[in-house]
Amino acid sequence: MPASQSRARARDRNNILNRAEFQSLNHPLKGTQESRRRQNSQSGPSPAPNEGGAKEQRTPQQPLPDEDCMQLNPSFKGIAYNSLLAIDISLSKRLGVCASNASAWGNARSMINLIGLTGHGIPWIGGTLICLVKSSTLAGQEVLLNLLLALFLDIVIIAGLQKMAKRKGPFDVSPGLLDYFTMDVYAFPAGHASRAAMVSKFFLSHLVLAVPLRILLVLWAFLVGLSRIMVGRHHVTDVLSGFAFGYLQFRLVELLWMSSNTCQMLISMW
């Protein structure tokens, strides 16, 4: 009797394990083997061990590029610089009302370009050479020859600074043919603004002018710099730095001032 009861209990247990909800318990090893086989197929074949039982050296993880890394603690200097740069770009784009014919003041683009042309290096160098040839006084030749020296220094210094900075303008405005002649291709610093500031300061220091003419001369230099912002060639900081470099160039010319005898010797050689 006990043997028949044990056989019945075993039969009932087998019937319970054969149910659908207990099928996963019948073959546990088979499931684990399949999962391991899948993991091995995804990871690929394991590398062979090195000879002599040496442990394999793992390559260090490649660092993320700087642009993908988040600076959690930016410096105050970086925040201030980025803020000023954003203000400069935004203000320059707002003032670029003549950047193209479709801009707000697109109809006045030709007139604004004409104002900027008055600060270009080619007209000033050509006009200075013509006045130097026609000048008959020693004082006039001295002033004109030093002005010619200042104009050439301005082209060399500004072209070198622009080549080092390589800053583009706020708008995609290609430089003109005359700009390539004077190497005024990039935006920082503004060559027209530096030249206008230097020439105006030069005339104010070495020419006797009435008060209205002195005011007009300063206003002309300001309008030349503003015109370069309006046509979209320079940022506001480019023009302001151009004014600063123009003043520094004037001080440099004052230190390198050529005397009347030196000017006469150069003119005789020419």
Q: What is the 3-state secondary structure (H, E, C) of the chain?
A: CHHHHHHHHHHHHHHHHCCHHHHHHHCHHHHHHHHHHHHHHHHCCCCCCCHHHCCCCCCCCCCCCHHHCCCCCCCHHHHHHHHHHHHHHHHHHHHCCCCCCCCCCHHHHHHHHHHHHCCCHHHHHHHHHHHHHHCCCHHHHHHHHHHHHHHHHHHHHHHHHHHHHCCCCCCCCCCCHHHHHCCCCCCCCCHHHHHHHHHHHHHHHHCCCCHHHHHHHHHHHHHHHHHHHHCCCCCHHHHHHHHHHHHHHHHHHHHCCCCHHHHHHHHHHC
Residue appearing with tokens 């803020």: 83
Active site residue 235: no
Task: State the sign of the Cα–Cα–Cα–Cα dihedral 150, 155, 156, 159.
Answer: positive
Quick check: is 120 catalytic?
A: no
Q: Which of 27, 120, 234, 235 is catalytic?
A: 234
Identify the residue whose tokens are 């206008």. 196
Rounded-to-integer distance, Cα 124 and Cα 192, Å: 11
CA 267/CA 140 separation, integer angstroms: 13
d(CA 265, CA 230): 44
Task: Name the active-site residue from 27, 120, 192, 206.
Answer: 192
Which residues are catalytically annotated?
192, 234
